[in-house]
């Protein structure tokens, strides 16, 4: 009894303390906070890149540590997915004028080549081994049991390196590109072509999802694979590898034709995995809409599509009642986790928490949708998306609203304010020095799991850029 009373007292104190924190943080507007956080996130991201990063000194050049945390949890490894997400951000900064990143991007290409050639538990070079998800920081294989293979990483890596290769070709650096990046040989000795061959040959095989837990066919994977193959076919054409271009295009077309299988008409949202035992609502689906389309779009499930926006809202609706911090007075918005039945607490399995990546990703999808409306000059409301848009403009009907109309302006303002509440939620749980871990406590809001998660910083940066109107990657 006394124990219970002190427990209640104690949790009351925690609640009071964290709502004070929430209030003081809220005095900084989202705009002010994202501006201050950008250089901090950039610096934090660089600390995790080998070999010059402060936390990655004895790490291969061009390797990205997922986090400096070496125990509880041990994230001192390089994951193809995380590294590629991080280098996507660096490539974007390079495009925007930071020429010193050229060396770093080449180091990433060299390290990728080394990892591909390393026989590992998934298999060997020029074959199944390309699907190995995780390596030691010196490039040697991780041999413990793991959810392998994971076939999203090679696709995301290819997307990053294809864009880099095109820039180098524009600059006349053909021999570097054709020796290391894309050689038109089969079997290939080059990084991009090995990734593309892997994706083209293995996309139909079961692989683990981006959360490394379930084997099957995943929306996120299909989206990033389709994009890699379309862009890969264009690079192959540019370099005269016409047979490969045809093969990649055929496979991309097949993936595109299979993507609608993820739409569940009975549930009214996109499933993250086919034939899943879960509810299928997953932050990975939103990541797929972003990373499978980028700035350009491939005509299927962009952020602004009805299917993605209604899935986003359903995910928010299941996350809202799940975490006590969402009901806390002064909470600036709704914290989002990976999926509702998640039990990974960042160290082991108990109850899962919201993630910075997922909370920011909801905002990023909303901002990206707004940017896509602006590029198109209209918002198309259909019966499927009507209830989504009515949240922001109650008199919306299923019609097309042109830019400049009152309805368009109301929807855009409402969506932007809504997106900002997700940023504000991340803001409330970020450290004052800008640090972002993997998760933040469902009840106490405190950072949990791997500290300084490199992908959390990458996710913040692309979200911030989308808020600024850029279609960043
Ligand atoms: C570690 C994985 O990286 C994570 O995604 C997973 O949820 C946990 N193991 C629990 O299986
Ligand atoms: C666990 C996450 O589920 C997975 O997506 C990530 O690759 C690893 N942690 C490393 O950050």
| CATH number of the domain bearing residue 44 | 1.50.10.10
Atom of ligand 1 nearest to the CA of 348: 10
Question: Do the domain assignments include residue 354?
Answer: yes
Catalytic residue, chosen from 212, 213, 234, 279, is 212
pLDDT at 472: 60
Binding site membership of 75 for ligand 2 (Cβ less than 6 Å): yes
Out of 107, 132, 209, 282, the active site residue is 209
72 has a pLDDT exceeding 60? yes
Nearest CA to ligand 2 atom 2: 211
Which segment of 53-62, 89-98, 183-192, 408-417 scores lowest on mean pLDDT?
89-98
**How confident is the model over 373-396, as a mean pLDDT?**
97
Give me the pLDDT at residue 22, please: 52
**What is the distance of C-alpha 130 from the center of its chain?**
20
What's the 79 CA to ligand 2 centre distance in angstroms? 8
Query: Would you say residue 463 has pLDDT above 60?
Result: yes
Residue of minimum CA distance from atom 1 in ligand 1: 212
In a domain, residue 404? The reply is: yes
pLDDT at 7 over 60: no
Q: How far is CA 288 from the centre of its chain?
A: 8
Please say whether the beta carbons of 318 and 296 come within 8 A: no
Is the C-beta atom of 212 inside 6 A of ligand 1? yes
- Whether the link from the prior residue into 437 is cis, omega within 30° of 0, is no
pLDDT at 266 over 70: yes
Res 423: pLDDT? 98
Determine whether the shortest distance from the Cβ of 212 to ligand 2 is under 6 A.
yes
Please indicate whether residue 212 is annotated as part of the active site.
Answer: yes
Average model confidence (pLDDT) across the chain: 93
Residue 97's pLDDT is: 74
Residue 111 lies in a domain: yes
**pLDDT tops 90 at residue 451:** yes
Average pLDDT over residues 349-376: 98
State residue 295's pLDDT score. 85
For the chain, the domain total comes to: 1
Is 426 a domain residue?
yes
Q: Tell whether the model's pLDDT for residue 127 goes beyond 90.
A: yes
Question: What 3 state SS string does 326-361 have?
Answer: HHCCCCCCCCCCCCCCCCECCCCECCCCCEHHHHHH
- Give yes or no for a contact between 74 and 450, defined as CB atoms under 8 angstroms apart: no
Q: Which bound ligand lies closest to the C-alpha atom of 352?
A: 1
User: Looking at the domain assignment, is residue 392 inside a domain?
Assistant: yes
Distance CA 159, CA 227 (A): 7
The answer to whether residue 20 sits within a structural domain is: no
Token duo for residue 461: 């940066």
Nearest to 152 by CA among 15, 291, 257, 54: 291
Asked if residue 121 has pLDDT above 60, the reply is yes
- What integer pLDDT is reported at residue 250 of this predicted model? 98
Q: What is the pLDDT of residue 416?
A: 98
Ligand 1 contact via 344 beta carbon (within 6 Å): yes
DSSP string covering 222-290: HHHHHHHHHHHHHHHHHTT-HHHHHHHHHHHHHHHHHGGGGEETTTTEE-SBTT-SS----HHHHHHHH
| Tokens describing residue 162 | 């294809």
Q: Catalytic residue at 111?
A: no
**Ligand closest in space to the Cα of 341:** 1
Range of the domain at 111: 27-467
Query: Given this model, what pLDDT does residue 26 score?
Result: 56
Closest ligand 2 atom, residue 344 Cα: 3
Helix then strand then coil, % of the chain, to nearest 5:
55, 5, 40
Ligand index nearest the alpha carbon of residue 450? 2
Whether 81 lines ligand 2, by a CB cut-off of 6 Å, is: yes
Is residue 3, in this structure, part of any structural domain at all?
no
* Nearest atom within ligand 2 for CA of residue 81: 7
Quick one: which atom of ligand 2 is closest to the CA of 79?
A: 7
Interval between CA 331 and ligand 1 midpoint (Å) = 28
Is 186 within the bounds of a domain? yes
């Amino acid at each position: 009894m006394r124990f219970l009373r002190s427990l209640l007292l104690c949790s009351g104190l925690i609640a009071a303390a964290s709502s004070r924190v929430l209030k003081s943080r809220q005095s900084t507007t989202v705009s002010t906070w994202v501006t201050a956080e950008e250089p901090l996130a950039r610096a934090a991201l660089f600390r995790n890149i080998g070999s010059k990063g402060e936390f990655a000194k004895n790490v291969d050049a061009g390797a990205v540590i997922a986090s400096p945390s070496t125990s509880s949890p041990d994230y001192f490894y390089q994951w193809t997915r995380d590294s590629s997400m991080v280098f996507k951000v660096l490539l974007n900064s390079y495009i925007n004028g930071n020429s010193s990143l050229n060396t770093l991007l080449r180091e990433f290409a060299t390290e990728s080549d080394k990892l591909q050639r390393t026989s590992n538990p998934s298999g060997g070079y020029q074959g199944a081994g390309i699907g190995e998800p995780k390596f030691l920081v010196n490039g040697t294989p991780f041999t413990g049991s793991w959810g392998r293979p994971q076939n999203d990483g090679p696709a995301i890596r290819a997307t990053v390196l294809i864009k880099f290769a095109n820039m180098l070709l524009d600059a006349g650096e053909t021999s570097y590109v054709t020796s290391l990046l894309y050689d038109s040989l089969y079997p290939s000795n080059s990084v991009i072509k090995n990734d593309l061959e892997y994706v083209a040959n293995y996309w139909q095989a079961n692989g683990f999802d981006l959360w490394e837990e379930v084997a099957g066919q995943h929306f996120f994977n299909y989206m990033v694979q389709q994009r890699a193959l379309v862009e890969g076919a264009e690079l192959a054409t540019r370099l005269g590898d016409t047979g490969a271009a045809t093969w990649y295009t055929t496979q991309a077309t097949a993936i595109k034709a299979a993507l609608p299988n993820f739409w569940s008409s009975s549930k009214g949202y996109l499933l993250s995995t086919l034939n899943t035992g879960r509810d299928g609502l997953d932050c990975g689906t939103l990541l797929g809409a972003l990373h499978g389309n980028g700035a350009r779009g491939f005509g299927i499930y962009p952020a602004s599509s009805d299917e993605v926006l209604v899935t986003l809202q359903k995910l928010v609706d299941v996350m809202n009642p799940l975490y006590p911090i969402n009901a806390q007075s002064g909470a600036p918005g709704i914290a989002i986790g990976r999926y509702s039945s998640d039990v990974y607490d960042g160290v082991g399995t108990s109850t899962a928490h919201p993630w910075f990546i997922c909370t920011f990703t909801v905002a990023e999808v909303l901002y990206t949708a707004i940017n896509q409306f602006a590029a198109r000059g209209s918002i198309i409301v259909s019966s499927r998306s009507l209830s989504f848009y009515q949240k922001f403009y109650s008199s919306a009907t299923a019609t097309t609203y042109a830019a400049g109309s009152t309805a368009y302006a109301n929807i855009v303002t409402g969506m932007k304010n809504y997106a900002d509440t997700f940023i504000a939620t991340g803001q409330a749980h970020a450290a004052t020095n800008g640090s972002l871990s993997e998760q933040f406590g469902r009840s106490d809001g405190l950072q949990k799991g791997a500290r300084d998660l490199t992908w959390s910083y990458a996710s913040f940066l692309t979200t911030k850029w989308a808020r600024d109107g850029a279609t960043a990657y």
